[in-house]
Amino acid sequence: MPFHISVELLEPLYQATAMDGERAEWPPHPARLFCALVAHADLDDAAHRMALAWLEAQEPPVVTVPARPLEADHPRTAWVVTNIVDTKKVTHGLLPGRTAGGVPRAWAQKTLSGTRMVFSWAAEPGEELAPVLQELARRVPYFGRSTGAGLLDAWCGPDEADDEWRRRWRPAAHGEYPKGSRPIRIPYCGYLAWLEEAFEEQRPSWSQAVTHHYLDPDHTDRDEAAVAEGPFGDLLTFSFAPGVALDPRWTLELTGRLRGAVMSTLEAMGHDVPAMTTVHGHKNSPDDPRPAAYFALPFAGHRHADGRLLGLGIALPREMPKHDRKALLDALLHHDGGLCQIRLADGEPLDLERVSPADQDSWPLTVQPWAWQGPSAVWTTVLPMVLDRFPKKNEEAAWADSIAASCIAAGLPKPARMRVSPRAGLAPGVRNTDGFQLRRKDRERPLPSCHVRLTFPVPVSGPVVLGSKKNFGLGLCRPEPDFQEDDQ
């Protein structure tokens, strides 16, 4: 019989921040439940350890939650003490201990249509472990943030809750990432040991996260037909080493070096690189296939974003010839261990690590491929767009015509609406256009640059990149599916 752990919240609010730090986590992650059980277990008790070891070894559970949750307009806020115990270095005015410069901390939350959530495993723990798991569940006084008081229970058998108010999030097959699925943190074999190690080293529990994709129960209700395919089919991303973040004004330098590293590797593999126009981008005729694009990925769009570069990416066009695609993937992923380093102008190496589909969701959102792929009807530049040509007049309409032409040249629909900012960024953390290198070669004539927010008539799949330097990452856009046009 299936095994269930239920959570009955005392009020219809779920307070837990998602990994991106911006929205509320939804649905609740099974890993969060497991961590709650660990936090209230006696790890010196062999029975508790055996019960947790059994639970972490199971296949990901089905997560049943109230239907139609709403993101709260105003997150829950509270003052947070600093936990200072050494009073010699502080005054009495600081002892109440407010962090973040005297600003209350905020926690995202979901407003729910019900208060009950259920996690269901297909396996049965047996007569010995079931009572232990029930005891552990009943020890947990809250779920999510500590203000989210709740009652937990566990049992084997059917879940008899009313189906009308709830939705079931079911795990996708292992190794599959279906469209409309969402990464969710889950327990896994060895998770308890990793959590203990993280605790000893004073690292957060989410640093040991492993994710599994779950199917959105409401995804089938969406109109899948009304999506315009962008020019790129795949995006491979590479993260800088932890703690490395570079100024976005290095974009052309970095993407040029990335392209050079790829071409050098292909040449070392024995390929005729000059003939691979989709790799190096120098077309022999206008009818040649669209080339690959080399990206630098800035941290942007989040309220705490600073616009600095956290990684690199390579977008493969849909029309890329099969032999070019195979050679490029071999160079990036397999040859001599795959792409793991590029050298900067001063000869210093810059380490790279591939963000693979198997573990991409444990990386920062900025370097996850899906964060740049949409689909979305609204896209906003996170790096300045360099116009393909000078506008005939220095008027807003002339700039809009030039940008619309750039969209069509990039293989995108003509925008239904747009907002043009000749200097300032239009999303949090986006740097203004000052100081950006807009030419790769000294002899090139610098063209005007700007930031834009584009609203297309239908959702467009990304990545989306615009302008004369689109193959080298300038004009990279971020999807904003929740952006309201009235705000423009």
Domains of the chain: 3-72+108-221 (3.30.70), 73-106 (no CATH), 232-487 (no CATH)
- Helix runs in 118-214, H state only: 126-139, 191-200
pTM for the structure as a whole: 0.62
Say what the pLDDT of residue 442 is. 67
Give CA 12 to chain center in angstroms: 27
* Number of Cβ atoms within 10 Å of the Cβ of 34: 24
Say what the pLDDT of residue 487 is. 46
Q: How far apart are CA 307 and CA 431, in angstroms?
A: 6
- 20-24's contacts with Cβ under 8 Å and 24+ in sequence apart are 20/302, 20/365, 21/302, 21/304, 22/108, 22/302, 22/303, 23/71, 23/108, 24/71, 24/72, 24/108, 24/109, 24/110
Mean pLDDT, the chain cut into blocks of 10 residues (488 residues total)? 93 82 85 95 95 95 89 59 56 50 67 91 93 96 90 87 75 79 89 88 76 81 65 93 93 95 95 93 81 96 91 94 91 91 89 80 84 91 91 81 92 94 93 82 77 94 93 95 62
Amino acid (1-letter code) at residue 130: A
